[in-house]
Amino acid sequence: MSAYQVEGGNTNSDWWWWEHKEGTPCLEPSGDACDFYHRYGADIALQGDLGYNAFRFGIEWARIEPAEGEFSRAALDHYRRMLAACREHGIVPILTFHHFTLPMWLHQQGGFRSPRFPEQFERYCDRAAAALGDLIGYACTINEPQGLGLSGYVLGINPPGRKGDVEGAGLATENLLEAHRRGAAAIRQRAKVPVGICLAIPDLQYEDGALPGDSGFELESAINDRYFELARDDDFIGVQTYTRFRFGPEGPRGPGHVWSDLSRELSETDETTQMGYEYYPKALGGAIRRAWKSTGGIPILVTESGIATAADSKRISFIDAAMRETRACIAEGIDVRSYVYWSLMDNFEWAFGYKPTFGLIEVDRKTLARRPRPSAYWLGDVARAGTLPATRGGTGGA
Ligand code: BGC
């Protein structure tokens, strides 16, 4: 989970501003989210009871550094308590330092495109790692940086919401690469924990005759290649994937959309998920193999794999199939060290608001009560056993 999507009340972040701004694609504001900021104790204990042994979550820069150069002891202590709760329950914390959101003061200075962003990120990483390092299991610098330039500056679908600013997107992209380099070094220096970056790696499949340059993913892939190069100096790479995208001579091949369409009702079918993606859990294998090859074989953590669905038994089949694919990769000699499902609970899915349900745990939107779904127990049994059951779990999915 990321901090912003579950904590609630992150009023000092650029996404809060974006959600409340007139004319953005956001369907609803995040509000209290899952109130994880206050309920983390029970949520972490529940994971222990379920049998989970790893938990990926994020810290919010806007809380830790609410004004430029002013660090909050209280916020850092809060995150220390969260990490300590994981340790108490035998859970290894995988901590993300940056997951899409920026403090408002940095947004006002130009955000990712500001020339000072890399050095400011380095300082934030240094301070957070100094305060939290002894409790962290694995540290992720930035979540899915490769699309942030395009979405925020060219497409205008994320903050700062600029359209057609190709120069801004280029500056943001270069700054994010530099920020990862500097942030990783700062964390490694302070905390002596394994550090890596989490990348969105869709399984891109080109059929014979597909026209290169036609998929819309070329730029993102080129940026990913630069992160793969940087990752050779890292301790692991975080692999995140949700589906495949196929291309034939006539362009994209269905089922499923190449990009999620916000205006659309979430109509899930046997072949597609609530996000409009093709149901294709095997995509994880393609992503793992690509990351392994492109980084010259650094250890892999699967940091996100998941499905937005209203049918929980389909979630079980999805996880079962994705894990079997991971197991096949391990059998091929690839060093995969974790499988982390996205997400522990239903949460704020950015511009889509609370419509898509990714959670192992259902969250009642009125009372915020948690209700573990059958998939939550199924995954706990797998974690406890340390292996998949002989028979495939769940039903549904094409
Ligand atoms: C992001 C998450 C998001 C998930 C599901 C990932 O790309 O890291 O923040 O909720 O996809 O769409």
Query: Which of these ranges, 9-18, 240-249, 297-306, 363-372, has the smallest mean pLDDT?
Result: 240-249
DSSP 8-state assignment for residue 211: P
Question: Which pLDDT does position 397 carry in this prediction?
Answer: 81
Among residues of the chain, what percentage have pLDDT more than 70?
Answer: 97
Task: Give the model's confidence band at 214: pLDDT under 50 very low, under 70 low, under 90 confident, else very high.
Answer: low
pLDDT for 303-352, tens place per residue? 999 999 999 999 999 999 999 999 999 999 999 999 999 999 999 999 99
Cβ neighbors of 22 (< 8 A, separation 6 or more) are: none
Pocket test for ligand 1, best of 243, 284, 315, 350 (most atoms within 8 A of CB): 350
Q: What is the pLDDT of residues 376-390, one digit of tens each?
A: 999 999 999 999 999
Tell which one of 142, 259, 304 to mutate to probe ligand 1, the residue whose CB is within 8 A of the most ligand atoms. 304
Higher-scoring residue by pLDDT: 215, 76: 76
Percent of the chain with pLDDT over 90: 87
**Which residue's CA is the nearest one to ligand 1's atom 3?**
349
Residue 271: per-residue pLDDT:
93
The rounded Å distance from CA 209 to ligand 1 centre is: 31
**Closest ligand 1 atom to Cα of 143:** 8
What local confidence, expressed as pLDDT, does residue 250 receive? 85
Above 80 in pLDDT, residue 392? yes
CA–centroid distance, 208 to ligand 1, in Å, is 31
Q: How far is the CA of 343 from the centre of ligand 1 (A)?
A: 9
* Mean pLDDT (the chain, rounded): 95
- The SS3 of residue 326 is helix
Query: Tokens standing for 157?
Result: 């679908």
| Residue 259 pLDDT class (50, 70, 90 cuts) | low
- In angstroms, the Cα distances linking 288 to 27, 101, 282, 338 are 33, 26, 10, 12
pLDDT at residue 224, rounded to an integer: 95
**So what's the pLDDT on residue 191?**
96
From CA 139, how far away is CA 125, in angstroms rounded? 10
Find the mean pLDDT for residues 50-74: 98
Q: What is the pLDDT of residue 262?
A: 60
For 154-158, 259-263, 328-332, 337-341, which range has the lowest pLDDT when averaged over its residues? 259-263
Reported confidence tier of residue 95, pLDDT bands at 50, 70, 90: very high
User: Beta strands of 81-183 (E only): which ranges?
Assistant: 92-98, 138-143
Query: Whole-structure pTM over 0.95, yes or no?
Result: yes
In one letter, which amino acid is 320?
A: D
Confidence band for 261, pLDDT divided at 50, 70 and 90: low
Alpha-carbon distance of 203 to 225, in angstroms, equals: 14
> Pocket residues for ligand 1 (CB within 6 Å)?
2, 143-144, 200, 240, 304, 342, 349
Between CA 31 and CA 58 the distance in angstroms is 18
Kindly tell me if the per-residue pLDDT of 194 is higher than 80.
Answer: yes
Q: Please indicate whether residue 221 or residue 374 has the higher confidence score (pLDDT).
A: 374
| Cα→Cα distances 138→78, 198, 250, Å | 18, 11, 43
| 220 pLDDT more than 90 | no
The pLDDT score that the predictor gives to residue 260 is 56
- Kindly give the distance from the C-alpha atom of residue 54 to the centroid of ligand 1, in angstroms, as a whole number: 18
Q: CA Rg, the chain, in Å? A: 20
Give the residue among 293, 299, 199 at the shortest CA–CA distance from 241: 199
Please state the atom number of ligand 1 nearest to the C-alpha of residue 349: 10
pLDDT of residue 267: 77
Residue 113 scores a pLDDT above 80: yes
Residue 263 confidence (pLDDT): 61
Q: Cα(12) to centroid of ligand 1, in Å?
A: 21
